[in-house]
Amino acid sequence: MTNTLHRFGSQESLSGDFIVFAMPGKGFNDEGSLEKARTFLRTAIKYRPINMGNALVNALYRPEKNLSFITLYFHGRQERTTYEKLIDEIPAAGSAAVVFDRREPVAEFLAEVKALDLGLSVNVSALVDDVRHICGEVSITPHAVEYTLGFHGATERLPDRDTLELSTMCGHGMVSSNFARKMLDRVKEGRIKPEAAVCCMAKFCVCGVFNRSRAMMILDRTATGS
Amino acid sequence: MKISKQRCVGCANCVPICSVGSIYIGADGLAEIIEDSCVECHNCYRSLSFEHLPPGFTRLIRRALRAVALRFQPDPDICPTEAFIPDELSWPRVVRRAFSDPMVTHESTGVHGRGTEEVKTNDVSKRIKSGQVGLVVELGRPGLGVYFHQVQQATMALAAAGVSFETGNPVTQMMEDRNLGTIRADVLNEKVLSCIVEITARLEQTPQVLSVIREICRTTPTVISIGAATVCDEQGREPLREILAEQGFATGWAKVNLGLGRVSNRSLDAAGRTA
C-alpha cells in the first residue's frame, strides 16, 4: 500500500480521503490471516465505505469480461459488484483496503477494529493531523508514520494538476494520466456524465483505493469550469 | 503483451489506457504496442471490459458509418473484440511484469504490488527501529516508468553515501553488490512502471541522505516519489516531522501504522523470534 502514500491534491481535496487497510506481515502473522482480512472488510460494510479491494482480485468496481450486444442492450453495464461477493472471492489476505470520504465513519470503524483485536497490521493513509485526531478519539497510539515528500526529478514531464489528482488515486499507476485526461475532456465537452467517468476510472484501480467522491468533485469542478 | 491484428478494429480505446503510453494506432489503422517501452503491467488486458463482437462485421459497420460521417465508438473502457494477447514472458522480460503488475507477487519477497511491506507491517516486523528513518525512493512514479540502468545510477549514488539497503525489498534482491549498489547486468535494459529503493539510516543522518537523494533527483530523466518513515514513542510522538520541515519538506499526507499488529504465527514467540 505504498500506493496510497503519494496522492496529489490540495489540502481541501485530500481532507475527504481516508484509506484504511489491514495486512499481515509475511512470516509474522500471516497464518490464518485470510479470515481476519475478511472480518476486517465485513466490519467495514456497515460504515459504508466508498470503495473496497485487496489487490488479489478485482476490486468493488471491476471490468466486465463477457459483455455482448444483448446484455448491454437489455441489462446495461454492471460495473460494481457487492461487498459480500468481493469478500467471498478474496483468495488471501493481501492488503485489505477500504476507502472513506468522511472522518466520522473512519473513527467508528477503527474503534470496532481495535475492539476486534484481529492482530493484523492496520494503517491509515490520510492527512496526518486528521489521523492523529482520530487516534486520540479512539485511544490508539500510532506505532509509525510515513510521510510523503512529494514528486521530484523530471516533474516537467508530469501532466496538469487535475489529471495528476485523478491518476494518483491509483498509486500503482493503473489509472493512466492519458485516460484521466480523456475523462476530464469528455466531461468538459458533455460527452460523458461525471458519474460514468468515475466508474470507468475506478475499475482500473485493482486495489480498490480510488476515491470516487474526490474524483466526482474534480470532474464536477471541470464540468462547471469552477 | 500483443494486440491481434485479426481482432483489433482500431477503435483506439486502449491508447489512453496504457500506463506508459506505449499503445498507438499504426499506419494500418489498428492498435500496436511499442515493445521496448511496454512494462507488461497487463492493465489493458486485465481492466478493459470485453465485448465479443465479430471483428470483420464490426470493421464493416465502422466503415459504413464513417461513410455517412458517423462513428461507432464503444464505451471508453471497452475493447469491443477482445484483441489483447498476453505473452508468455521469460527472463529478463518477466521482471517488467513483476514490478509493474500490482496483482503479481514478487518471488523474492512473497509480497504483491511493489513487493515490499516497508513500514506497513513494522509493528510486527520491526524493520525500522526506534531512532531510525526509513526512506523509500520510488523511481518512475507517477506514471513515467524507469529503466533499471537508471535505477542503478541512483542505487550506486546511495551506496557511495554509505546507506544500507533494506533486505526484504525486490530492488535490493536484484543487486549484484550491495556495497556498490550495482544491479545485475541482465536486467539493466528492462523498463518497469516504478520500483522502490528502500534504505534505513539513523534519524540524525536524515539531512545527509536527503541531500544525496536531492542530487539524484536533479540528474534523473524520470520522476521520483519520496517517502520517509519513523517509529513513534510511547506517547505516539516522533521527531521526523520537524527534521523534514527543517529540510524544507511540507508534511501533510502520510500513512500511519496504528500498531494493532501482533506476532501470531505458531513458529514464533511474541517478540517475533523462532520459538
Most distant pair of Cα atoms in chain A: their distance: 55
Cα B101 off chain centre by: 8
Rounded mean pLDDT of chain B? Answer: 94
- Domain locations in chain B? 2-85, 99-246
Is pLDDT at B106 greater than 80 in this prediction?
A: no
Q: What is the pLDDT of residue B109?
A: 67
**A25 inside 8 A of chain B by CB:** yes
Q: What is the pLDDT of residue A74?
A: 85
CA distance A103 to A216: 18
Is pLDDT at B19 greater than 70 in this prediction?
A: yes
Per the listing, cell 521527531 goes with: B239
For residue B153 the three cell numbers come to: 545510477
Best A152, A170, A210 residue to mutate vs chain B (most B CBs within 10 Å)? A152
Q: In residues, how long is chain B? A: 275
**CA of A226, closest CA in chain B: separation in Å?**
25
The question of ipTM being above 0.85 is answered as yes
Q: What is the pLDDT of residue A93?
A: 85
Nearest to A51 by CA among A125, A12, A109, A101: A101
For residue A191 the three cell numbers come to: 460527452
pLDDT (mean) for A191-209: 96
Task: Give the pTM.
Answer: 0.95
The per-residue pLDDT for range A70-120, each reduced to its tens digit, is 888 888 888 899 999 999 999 988 899 999 999 999 999 999 999 999 999
pLDDT (mean) for B209-232: 97
- Domain locations in chain A? 2-142+157-224
Rounded mean pLDDT of chain A? Answer: 95
CB–CB of B118 and A146 under 8 A? yes
Instruction: List, as ranges, residues 196-215 from B with C-beta within 8 Å of A.
Output: 196, 213-214
Nearest to A54 by CA among A88, A89, A25, A96: A96
pLDDT (mean) for A165-188: 97
**A2 inside 8 A of chain B by CB:** yes
Per the listing, cell 500506493 goes with: A3
**B76 inside 8 A of chain A by CB:** yes
Is pLDDT at A1 greater than 50 in this prediction?
A: no
Is pLDDT at A149 greater than 80 in this prediction?
A: yes
The per-residue pLDDT for range B48-77, each reduced to its tens digit, is 999 999 999 999 999 999 999 998 889 999
HEC assignment per residue over B107-150: CCCCCECCCCCHHHHHHHHCCCCCCEEEEEEEECCCCCCEEHHH
Which DSSP state fits B105? B
Choices 3.40.1350, 3.40.50, 1.10.3470, 3.30.70: CATH for B99-246: 3.30.70
